[in-house]
Amino acid sequence: MKRWIASSQVLLAMTIMLLAISPSHAADAGFTNFVGSLWPEAQKAGVSRAVFERETRGLEPDYKLPDLLLPGRPSTGAPSQAEFVQVPADYLKEASIARLAAHGRTLMQQHAATLKAIEQRFGVPGPIILAIWGRETDYGRYALPYDGLRVLATQAYVGRRKDQYRGEFIEALKLIQNGDVTRKMLRASWGGATGLTQFLPSELSKHGVDFDGDGHVNIWTSIPDALASAAQQLKNKGWQPGVRWAYEVRAPRSADCTLGVPDVTKPISQWLREGFVPVRGQRLSAAEQGQQASLLQPEGIYGPSFLTTKNYFVIKEYNFSDLYVLFVGQVADRIAGGPPFATPWSASTQLRSADVEAMQKHLTRLGLYASKLDGKAGMQTRAALGAYQKKAGLTVDCWPSADVLRAMSAGR
């Protein structure tokens, strides 16, 4: 086995060298050999030889996909996920939220029995599941653009997460073999997620539910299966029934934005005693006040503030983005008849990912940041920026601005 792995690694290294020299015939031959080398893993996972040969015969790579590592070629220019490069005002557009919420209310009535049964079984409210469906594929109206098997194979060959996608490719073959989906129906995003509620094949194998009882987990055309599978995933990742995802609050002037990280939690009653006030003056029950919550300020001290519960972070397991969770949570609230965000988003600008990554590197050198260098201004990055601003004697707003970048460049 070790000899096979070593020979495969040599083959891939030789192919990459050829790819840099001759991007046409050598690249496709290398890809074909690579796909063939996956057979032992596929066989071990239970894929039949007949299915493997049928589905891989004539399979070609798609070198136009984003997020590929192609030696000797320019970057494929991954279209950065909107969740990580847009400012909140652009991502959380009221028109988009209102449109999805309006259609979601119609679907809430149309699928009332199914959604009630899903909530009874998994504890996840219908509006949350509908909001995920709406965000992922516009309630099935958005046609996924790529051949799923081709995407997964290409990402396994020259993507940035090769090992992960080897497994996803094999899981996709198993879906086809089981009769859950046809090759034609296996359409995907450029990252390989598929179905009405956007699952990677491995996630579907863990959380998929045959809710309509036809013997197959079908998240492509069966709305009950797609919605139940999303609910099962949330339940498996820790969803707590009866708990809101977040509370919008007004922060006191004395609020410390550097506390806005997941590992700083306090009972909501403590946040209230410290001056955080529900935006519409609503009274929270004793059970609500007893919940542990973290502070979230997506624009630093600008824009809305939230106290986020455990369920907020469960939704974040679906898509690791604060803006994604805020979008889904707000659509769900609006489906249920709730109001828009009370505090407007500011007109802040978003630095380029390269600039945010440069900030992260600087913060790492100072010992203020220990997370991924990914160019994304998430919770950990914003809190580290606030700590840096305190240290450098700057205004503490926990937002990656051009002024902060200049201060770092000047060695402050």
Provide the token pair at 258.
Answer: 């550097």
Lowest-confidence pick of 74-88, 127-141, 299-313? 74-88
Residues 301 and 360 in one domain: no
pLDDT, one tens digit per residue, over 165-188 is 999 999 999 999 999 999 999 999
**pLDDT at res. 24:** 44
- 26 pLDDT band, cuts 50/70/90, is very low
Residues 250 and 399 in one domain: no
Distances (CA, A) of 225 to 149, 187, 192, 312, 399: 21, 17, 19, 23, 41
Examine residue 321 and state whether it is found in any structural domain, yes or no: no
pLDDT, one tens digit per residue, over 308-317 is 999 999 999 9
Of 141, 161, 208, 142, residue with least CA distance to 181: 208
- 93 pLDDT band, cuts 50/70/90, is very high
Q: Which residues contact 139 (CB under 8 A, 6 or more apart)?
A: 100, 103, 104, 107, 130, 133, 196
In whole angstroms, what is the distance from residue 155 CA to residue 122 CA?
33
Residues 24 and 160 in one domain: yes
Who wins on pLDDT, 269 or 90? 269
In whole angstroms, what is the distance from residue 289 CA to residue 335 CA?
24
Query: Which amino acid appears at position 208 of this protein?
Result: G
Examine residue 297 and state whether it is found in any structural domain, yes or no: yes
Examine residue 328 and state whether it is found in any structural domain, yes or no: no
User: DSSP letters along 249-301, please?
Assistant: EEPPTT--GGG-STT-EEEHHHHHHTT-EETT-PPPPHHHHTSEEEEE-EEEE
- 320 pLDDT band, cuts 50/70/90, is confident
Indicate whether 5 pLDDT > 70. Answer: no
Examine residue 329 and state whether it is found in any structural domain, yes or no: no
Indicate whether 209 pLDDT > 80. Answer: yes
Residues 69 and 170 in one domain: yes
Examine residue 218 and state whether it is found in any structural domain, yes or no: no
Lowest-confidence pick of 53-62, 63-72, 254-263, 313-322? 63-72
Indicate whether 4 pLDDT > 50. Answer: no
**pLDDT at res. 19:** 44
**pLDDT at res. 83:** 45
Of 197, 201, 200, residue with least CA distance to 211: 197
Examine residue 288 and state whether it is found in any structural domain, yes or no: yes
Residues 62 and 152 in one domain: yes
Residues 270 and 388 in one domain: no
pLDDT, one tens digit per residue, over 224-279 is 999 999 999 999 999 999 999 999 999 999 999 999 999 999 999 999 999 999 99
**Can you tell me the mean pLDDT for 136-147?**
97
> Helices 322-335 and 310-318 sit at what angle, rounded to 10 degrees?
110
Who wins on pLDDT, 74 or 298? 298
Tell me the HSE value of 350 on the side-chain side, using a 13 A CA sphere. Answer: 21
Of 26, 7, 3, residue with least CA distance to 73: 26
Placement of tokens 């494929």 in the chain:
76
323, 88 Cβ separation under 8 angstroms: yes
* Helix H or strand E encompassing 246: strand 246-250
Q: Three-state SS for 156? A: helix
Q: Which residues contact 52 (CB under 8 A, 6 or more apart)?
A: 39, 42, 43, 173
Query: Which amino acid appears at position 370 of this protein?
Result: A
Residues 63 and 173 in one domain: yes
How many domains does the chain divide into? 3
**pLDDT at res. 205:** 96
**pLDDT at res. 74:** 57
Indicate whether 210 pLDDT > 90. Answer: yes
Residues 154 and 262 in one domain: no
In whole angstroms, what is the distance from residue 71 CA to residue 333 CA?
47
Residue-number span of the structural domain to which 262 is assigned: 246-308
Of 306, 296, 277, 270, residue with least CA distance to 378: 296
Q: Where are the alpha helices (DSSP H) in 92-217?
A: 94-110, 112-122, 126-137, 148-158, 162-177, 201-207
pLDDT, one tens digit per residue, over 361-395 is 999 999 999 998 888 888 999 999 999 999 999 99
Residues 30 and 162 in one domain: yes
In whole angstroms, what is the distance from residue 249 CA to residue 366 CA?
32
Examine residue 96 and state whether it is found in any structural domain, yes or no: no
Indicate whether 3 pLDDT > 50. Answer: no
Indicate whether 102 pLDDT > 80. Answer: yes
pLDDT, one tens digit per residue, over 279-299 is 999 999 999 999 999 999 999
Residues 65 and 156 in one domain: yes
Indicate whether 144 pLDDT > 90. Answer: yes
Rg of the Cα atoms in the chain: 23
Placement of tokens 């460049």 in the chain:
409
Which class for 202: exposed (0-12), middle (13-18), buried (19 or more C-beta within 10 A)? middle
Examine residue 52 and state whether it is found in any structural domain, yes or no: yes
